[in-house]
Structure 1
């Protein structure tokens, strides 16, 4: 699915004027990934001129405008004239600051919604959109760590945790992080062309295909389709953490359940322990990487969360009956 420009999209340059609303404690990675892709597509070369696209940073809360990492930013415009833009991007931040949002935010967003123009929520920007009533009955993409809180606060919206982005009507949401750059390229392609989007991706050293956040494990799909909500949430967390696994105790804490409850759910639903299931997910991801032949075995070991190559090779052989090197060689000659 992709954004489609409105028939009444403005003529001439820039193709799109974007208002970037920075919430109190906004996430720097989400903001910078989005705006850097836009910047690179907005000009010839890398001169940072706002020719084909333009944008302003607007404070959605009190000043000083500070990112969650502590960096302060000076807004380039005030939250006053939505008619000056054809797209609004809400870059969310730490949820503890959501009550500090300016009262002008909701009517500002409502103007875009009435005009049918693109509204984008990055990171916890979905909370702001839902708080404004724009996600009632709509699907939205969230990080698994915030999905439960979101569903408790806004049960009228449908939280999705296995997608890098979700488009529902004129609203696009994204869990944040590096996926925000991909979201920007959707806008770039829709309002100019894919060449400009690819230029941005090339400068950012990103492949020209969006990342898969959800790993498909064929031998567990049947079990997951009938599994409990706890098991499905845990598997989603595992898939997001393929490269940085934590202890099952820590995973249970993040999911707000006890470790015995998590063990019991996996045993009943998947006939496996959480640790064994997570290890197999990582090893199957490693198989995909080995087939691609774009990374060496050491790189794949670290990208799937193993502390060293020897541990990875031993675990891989124990699971599949062959070493990673043998698996890769046999795949080539098959």
Structure 2
């Protein structure tokens, strides 16, 4: 239609086609986003996630479209197809690697957020008119937050398996124990370097976590785990991988075996962080303290543990009320035994 309009004004059709072909596509937008924005403003792990979403979801569905012509209907269609798993895949990434690309509501929402940012930048770069972001008014899918906390019995079973596997997969077992004892994120433990460990002050000083610079406090059990990890020459990482000088990059395969042996199907590594928060709440710690322990930037993130933090208060409330209720109960009349006087003997 645009070509016909240009021809009607007297322009050369071939020149019009060349102009349209030179217009930036969504693939061009993705490339520029990664090179000029993500690499400058986002952490390496976030850049990697964005690149994966672009490669697996955005490019197959939108890559060839001109940036200026992407409509709200195109975005809505992508959101629906990703949710339905149309872009899901399972493939090898090397001799020992495997990648699973999943769809679902969460993946669709992340793609929508990424596209919204990219089309906002497209407006700044002059690739779309101002206030034309096609992601506006596209509602995100509702996601059910899965909160899984290990019970005392489940922790006991996990502990037995960890002790049994310590000799065969020591790095993986050490990583899992650190997750449990610190409440740290998985990437924080796997990316931990020895120069960030301060055993004397019982601290981990992370220069680059998900929420920026962060301090993790080390308990006695956490320090014991770290003290038992050998420092490999030439490897700066605490949780060493199979490759020289590199960290362990994938704990999922080993974790799946450990959780199955522990009778914990479906429990994710991230649930160990939730379990740490649950234990803190059960111990009477406030939401403020729990948020500081977990390194939450916003108190809203910690609100998911509000029902757990209320448990000690609820127990104290019950005990106090029961004590008062007991005091209000009528006392039973004390039975009085009359004193019998001794009989006097007649003489």
With the length of structure 1 as denominator, give the TM-score of the two structures.
Answer: 0.26
Q: Which structure is higher in RCO with an 8 Å CA cutoff and minimum separation 6?
A: 1
Structure (1/2) with the larger helix percentage: 2
With the length of structure 2 as denominator, give the TM-score of the two structures.
Answer: 0.25
Structure (1/2) with the larger strand percentage: 1
Higher Rg: 2
